[in-house]
């Protein structure tokens, strides 16, 4: 492939590509969910923690974040962990 054949896509080319737009798949699921409630709840006792997650889960979290609501990734992970820990008897 020559240099002339390789070029960066413009923002509009990427944004309008349905194959690259992961947020289309889950856009309806968040509007009336537990995440909405959690995002509206202020929590002052948070701690930054870094960890690795599987690629498919990362794509879903990123698609939720693209809707513009700050903190949706953290709220999602907190909700999932809280439910798991309650089920397992840690909470």
Per-residue pLDDT tens digits for 23-58:
444 444 555 567 777 777 777 788 888 999 999 999
Q: Which pLDDT value is given to residue 75?
A: 86
Output the pLDDT for position 12: 64
CA neighbours closer than 13 Å in the CB half-sphere of residue 53: 12
Average pLDDT over residues 57-69: 85
For the whole model, what pTM was predicted?
0.56
- For the ranges 16-20, 21-25, 70-74, the maximum mean pLDDT occurs at 70-74
Virtual torsion, Cα 37, 39, 41, 46, nearest 10 deg: 140
Top-confidence residue, 37 or 3: 37
Residue written as tokens 């794509």?
59
The confidence score (pLDDT) of residue 74 equals 87
Quick one: CA torsion of 16, 17, 20, 22, rounded to 10 degrees? 60
């Amino acid at each position: 492939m020559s240099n002339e054949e390789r070029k960066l896509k413009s923002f509009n080319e990427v944004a309008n590509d349905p194959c690259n737009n992961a947020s289309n798949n889950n856009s309806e699921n968040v509007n009336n969910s537990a995440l909405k409630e959690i995002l509206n709840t202020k929590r002052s006792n948070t701690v930054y923690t870094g960890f690795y997650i599987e690629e498919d889960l990362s794509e879903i979290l990123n698609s939720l974040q693209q809707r513009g609501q700050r903190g949706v990734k953290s709220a999602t992970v907190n909700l999932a962990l809280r439910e798991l820990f309650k089920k397992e008897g840690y909470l």
